[in-house]
A and B are shown apart, each in its own frame.
Chain A
Amino acid sequence: MATAPLIPGQKPRSNLEELLEGVWKQNPVFVMVLGMCPTLAVSVSAMNAMSMGLATAFVLVGSSLLVSLMRNLVPKEVRIATYILIIATFVTVVDYAIQAISLALYDALGAFIQLIVVNCIILGRAEAHASKNRPVKAVLNAIGMGAGFTIGLFALGAVREILGAGKLFGVSLFGPDFQPWVVMVLPPGGFFVLGAWLLLFNWLDSRKAAPAKPTESHAHV
């Protein structure tokens, strides 16, 4: 059985590490800042954001599995085209599935479901991870990345919905006197909230680095 070609000097990673990589250390939304078009466009409410995250996670897991299974069959020259076709197939499946399950959700997400095809996270994972690893590892990594993406989207969607509409998952939080901060559900709010989350993480990082003693304690997940 072909073992994964690793970068020299890098230890083979355990399955748990593969799974957790995407959730925290390499979170696609907050750390890698990839796939932002759907992130910002559909994170108007927590519900939309979660649905989008799960749809993307499904495509990610499905395409990673298939790419990993086919990694020795696909000629190097046409690999990107093959990946895109695989991804587009899964996206079509998701597109029709959502249309069948909830038409209201389908209308809310609109063309952004189909735009999952050009989400850089998915192609990035296919090229950088799934094409070099065995199916189990590829799927675990994809699940982690998908979960990380969903968490990121939820963090954005929840903040925007709470501030912009005073609700969470459609449930009113502050009673009828709440004056909604409308700009948060409008496009600028998306940029501001993601910017604010990144600021928070930058600040936490800088606080961690500040006590001059860079210990190994924060290196583990």
Chain B
Amino acid sequence: MSESVSQIFIGTLLANNFVLAMFLGLCPFLGVSARLNTALPMGAATTFVMLVASLCAFGLNWLVTALHLEFLRLIAYIVIIAAAVQLVEMVLKKTSPVLFRALGIYLALITTNCAVLGVALFQTAREYRFIQSLTFALAGGLGFTLALLLMAGLRERLSLANIPNVVQGTALSLLLAGLLSLAFMGFAGLGAGE
């Protein structure tokens, strides 16, 4: 792949936003986006774990390919992501208990966030090199945070609005996500490889 770093960054952040265009990380997107003050820490934690996971996956992919054990790739990825989340949890607990308490519940949930495994799988499928992989992970995480923040903003405004009962709950969130996704389609073509 010969995409430049800036193309990958812009493309992943906006045109191919992880949540709104590639449907990765929808569970936390719909679950944690009710309020702005939880959306930001969640986005930051996920971005950080995505960077760690991307780094680990890059090394692991090299190892697995060198040993001709490609069929173990998926199992190795999921184990290393779980381990990375655990590690991040432990480091945070030692170095910054305040931040740890703020993120506490969400950290463990990140293991089953498909955006994290998605980063590892897509960077392998697209044969990104080291710097490209890290850029991809960073842009993916920032894009996830952006989508989460936009959604939280919308939902906070709507919690005071007068909405028919039928549209309450998940249906409303999905329709909002659809509108956001439609808006993000305006970025299509930005950062494209050609």
Report A's interface with B, CB cutoff 8 A. Answer: 33-34, 36-38, 40-41, 81, 84-85, 88-89, 91-92, 95-96, 110-111, 114-115, 117-120, 123, 183, 186-192, 194-195, 198-199, 202-203, 206
Contacts and interface: CB of A to CB of B under 8 A. Distances in A.
Interface string B45-82: 00000000000000000000000000100110011001
Nearest to A203: B166
B78 A40 contact: no
10 contacts: A33-B30, A81-B82, A84-B78, A115-B121, A118-B112, A118-B114, A187-B22, A187-B185, A188-B185, A203-B166
A110 B114 CA distance: 14
Contacts of B22: 41, 187
Which of A91, A119, A190, A198 counts the most chain B CB atoms within 10 A?
Answer: A198
B24 interface: yes
A198 B169 CA distance: 10
A contact face: mostly helix, strand, loop, or mixed: helix
Interface string B106-128: 00000011100110011001000
Contacts, number: 110
Which of A34, A85, A192 counts the most chain B CB atoms within 10 A?
Answer: A192
Interface string B73-104: 01100110010000000000000000000000
A96 to B, nearest CB: 7
Contacts of A85: 75, 78-79
A156 B181 CA distance: 17
Contacts of A89: 75
B112 to A, nearest CB: 5
Given A96-B71, A195-B171, 4 more contacts: A33-B170, A117-B117, A188-B179, A191-B177
Contact of B71 (A92, A115, A202): A92
Contacts of A88: 74-75, 78
Given A117-B117, A183-B182, A206-B165, A110 B125 contact: yes
Contacts of B26: 36-37, 40
B173 to A, nearest CB: 8
A111 B125 contact: yes
B1 interface: no
Which of A114, A123, A192 counts the most chain B CB atoms within 10 A?
Answer: A114
A111 B74 contact: no
B121 A37 contact: no
Contacts of B78: 84-85, 88, 117-118
A111 B121 contact: yes
Contact of B167 (A34, A40, A186, A199): A199
Given A198-B170, A199-B171, A37 B112 contact: no
Contacts of B25: 37
A67 to B, nearest CB: 16
Contact of B114 (A37, A187, A202): A37
A195 B118 contact: no
Interface in B13-29: 20-27
